[in-house]
Structure 1
Amino acid sequence: MTVSPGGTATTTLTVRNDGDIVEAYTLEVAGDCAAWTTVEPARVSLYPGTSETVTLTFAPPRSHEVRAGETPLAVRVLPAERPESVVVPESTVTVEPFHELRTELEPRRRRGWLRARFRTAVQNKGNTPVDVVLAGRQDGEDLTLGFTPDKKRLEPGESAEVALKVRARKLIWFGEPVTWPFEVLATEGAEAAEGAEGGTEKDAEPKAVATAPVDDGQPGGAEPLPGEFAQIPVLPKWLLIVLAALLALLLAWFALVRPAVQSTAKQAGAKAAQEETER
């Protein structure tokens, strides 16, 4: 019997009274399937030599707590009159795998002269282990994006944090700030290597709000997370204005004030010499 998480599947079980008295049977599901398996009807009364078929319905939730693979199934059939004759037929239910990655980039935007640090959180919400590969993508070659580590194996329900370092190709010495958009991809297995653009670095440090769940029944499904690095100039605009004002004052000094001072000094010197001569 195979069932998909979030779906349902049914099977039947036949209960037969081989005794010589009328018997009531209570049916209870045991094992790991019990939480999401029901029996209808859960109690049957049978005359000797008769039988009845009951229906077992399996409805595992779409949760990482329900692991993919074979799950033991047991149904306890308990007679009311002769409880010592209890029987427990056993079987297995195969739960199909599903894949779901939940990723988060914090913060969504950072400012800096040359580099910035972000934090990428990844959680495996699926019911089977996955190898998650992180990659960065950016239009052009203005940024390099590096993750540490860039690969992580996650068990169902497990979370991990990965450091992301974003670095611009060159400094902006003066002018207006420039915003460089980029995307973070969290993909399962080797498929993540395709589409990774904008360069990679092996060294990265933490620091990292935008969430984007990735819900895909097949491996490799991923939804990119947008981020931005706002690169600011090394010399701010106000500093350029101050330097320009200082330069203008300096030029004014040499062009206007200094000649006037020199002329006044010469006149004062000449007057003093004349007075000395008259004496």
Structure 2
Amino acid sequence: MTDPVLRLETTQLTVEPGGQARAEVTVLNPGTIVESYALDVVGEQPIPWAEVTPPVLSVYPQQQETATIVFNPPTGPTGPAGTVPFGIRAKSQVDPLNSAVVEGQLEIGQVFGLQAKLTPVTSSGRWRGLHTIQFSNWGNAPARLRIVASDPDQALGFLIRPDVVDVPLGATVTARIKARTRKPVLRGSTTRLPFKVVGEPDPPRPFGMPETPGADPGRPMVDGAFTQKPILTRGVITAATVVGAALIGVLAFALTRGGGAAATPTGDGTTLPGKPVLTAAAAGPTSIALVWAQLPNIDSYALYYVDDAGHVNKSERGVDVKQTAKTVTGLNAGVHYCFKLSAVNGKLEGPPSAAACATTGKATPTSAPPSSAPPSGGTSTAPPGGVTTSAPPSSAATQTGQPSASVGVDAPQFAPGQWIAAVDLAPGALVNAEQNAKSLAAQLKSAGVDAKALHATGQYPGLYRLDTKKPMPDDWVVYVGPAASPDQAQAVCRSPQVQQIRSSTCPRFQPAVPPPG
């Protein structure tokens, strides 16, 4: 027994998806007995859309019979495209080892089913609009497209990422398109600028190839538009007017409001500040010294002048956040004053402190005119009527042990219970000691610190140090205060405003109390 001999009439076949192609195959039986051959179509992949009629041939010895092969490739993304090799196999049913195959090729045409979708179809803006384009492939072959955008008036520029996309069978790919106006408009009405986006085949089609009428499934196209707005709309102009008026108001308020320099913002603007602890002490007949502990995460302080019932008579906002002491001046002598302090963080104001009160000192009495009596011993005056009286020597301060507060034309006035802290001490024998002390006091005043200079023996004899319990030598003293306690005086002296100008250990004094013994 021998293998059959096969002959295929046409080895090159062409068919379109959804169409049909036929070929005839002849089977020769070279043997000596009648053979029955089973026919089928084989290939690299199964070809379920190929059919052999009849599927079995009976062939007499040295005779031949013919069968027909029909190819019906389907349409859509599941269908094949391009060249499909195939084989026709004849296998003996008497002896399965006897078989033969004849080969051929089937060329299946490509079917394009590309679709495009633009989202949004119309964008709007002053300078640019953003779009997303999607390509879907419902054909039977993958496609590569180059995305091209254009507008008829050339009023737009386009940025496409990516500009070349591969679209597999049954898949969808996405690209982004930015349409930007070439001529921004300052004022006016909105303008609609149409444009078109095309997915061009890549590589391009051969030149002279006929175009498909209507929508071309191999060259998807979609229309879009960009609505250009003017830069200055009516709302923008109105908002700018309101902002300008607000800025003018803020500037006018900053120039006309009372208070010191603008506070330095150091808070986060969202946390409610804590409650300050405020103390007050008389600093003279017309001033009161206020001292408080510094609070964190705030922008400034607000100081309130209140009466005994807690009613606010006057307020002073914008007190510098770095400040921990303030001397209120211009007050009346011998009057009781109360104050409250609150911390400010952005637009949030914390609870006010408890009222801190103090009474200003009494006014210094006017000195009596000098007497014409001799200064030594007792003094004799002759009032009208010829009565002669004797007055003791003027030595009250010496007899009571109080330091003299009337020596020097600008001697400061202190009351019992008041404390001061020395920022700097300079021996009076040094050259320019007085000038240097007054210069340092002026520098501290310019930084917001109520500092003064005095001559320990010339202006205020009897001043003594708390730590040494000894009278001061012939020194010039630059001091801060007075305060209600030594700790308050030291806190002012060790504040950042003072320490940045002159680092000091801050010796403390109680001027109105004589040294013990």
TM-score range, shorter chain: 0.5 to 0.7
Q: CA deviation at 1:95?
A: 3.0
My pick for the range that moved more, 81-90 or 169-178, is 169-178
Match of 1:230 among 223, 227, 230: 227
Query: Greater RCO between the two (CA within 8 Å, min separation 6)?
Result: 1
- Asked if the contact 1:33/1:73 (under 8 Å) is kept, the reply is no
Work out the CA distance in 2 between the residues paired with 1:87 and 1:241.
91
**Map of 2:217 onto structure 1:** 215
Work out the CA distance in 2 between the residues paired with 1:123 and 1:76.
39
Work out the CA distance in 2 between the residues paired with 1:80 and 1:149.
59
Are residue 23 (structure 1) and residue 20 (structure 2) matched?
no
Work out the CA distance in 1 between the residues paired with 2:203 and 2:58.
57
Work out the CA distance in 2 between the residues paired with 1:44 and 1:170.
79
* % identical equivalent positions: 26
Work out the CA distance in 1 between the residues paired with 2:237 and 2:129.
25
Q: CA deviation at 1:46?
A: 3.0
Q: CA deviation at 1:154?
A: 5.0
**Map of 1:2 onto structure 2:** 13
| CA root-mean-square deviation | 3.4
**Map of 1:94 onto structure 2:** 107
Normalised by the length of structure 2, the TM-score is 0.37
Q: CA deviation at 1:14?
A: 0.9
Q: Per the alignment, in what secondary structure is the counterpart of residue 105 of structure 2? A: strand
Query: What does the per-residue CA deviation read over 1:241-271, in whole Å, with 9 as the maximum and x for residues that have no partner?
Result: 8999xxxxxxxxxxxxxxxxxxxxxxxxxxx
Q: Per the alignment, in what secondary structure is the counterpart of residue 48 of structure 2? A: helix
Which amino acid in 1 is paired with 2:71?
F
Q: Per the alignment, in what secondary structure is the counterpart of residue 70 of structure 2? A: strand
Work out the CA distance in 1 between the residues paired with 2:84 and 2:76.
15
**Map of 1:81 onto structure 2:** 94
Work out the CA distance in 1 between the residues paired with 2:111 and 2:46.
18
Work out the CA distance in 1 between the residues paired with 2:203 and 2:33.
64
**Map of 2:320 onto structure 1:** none
**Map of 1:187 onto structure 2:** 200
**Structure with a larger share of its residues in strand:** 1
Q: Per the alignment, in what secondary structure is the counterpart of residue 90 of structure 1? A: strand
Gapped regions of structure 1 (runs ≥ 5): 193-211, 217-221, 245-279
- Asked if the contact 1:22/1:45 (under 8 Å) is kept, the reply is yes
Please give the residue correspondences for 1:1-279 in structure 2 after superposition, counting only pairs within 5 Å: 1-6=12-17, 7-31=19-43, 32=45, 34-64=47-77, 68-125=81-138, 130-154=143-167, 159-189=172-202, 191=204, 214-216=216-218, 222-237=219-234
- Asked if the contact 1:214/1:223 (under 8 Å) is kept, the reply is yes
Normalised by the length of structure 1, the TM-score is 0.65
Which amino acid in 2 is paired with 1:43?
V
Work out the CA distance in 2 between the residues paired with 1:168 and 1:48.
84
Query: What does the per-residue CA deviation read over 1:136-156, in whole Å, with 9 as the maximum and x for residues that have no partner?
Result: 121212211221222335565
Q: Per the alignment, in what secondary structure is the counterpart of residue 196 of structure 2? A: strand
Work out the CA distance in 1 between the residues paired with 2:157 and 2:13.
46
Work out the CA distance in 1 between the residues paired with 2:165 and 2:221.
18
Which amino acid in 1 is paired with 2:48?
A
Query: What does the per-residue CA deviation read over 1:49-93, in whole Å, with 9 as the maximum and x for residues that have no partner?
Result: 332211112222344555544322122323322222132322332
Work out the CA distance in 2 between the residues paired with 1:146 and 1:2.
46
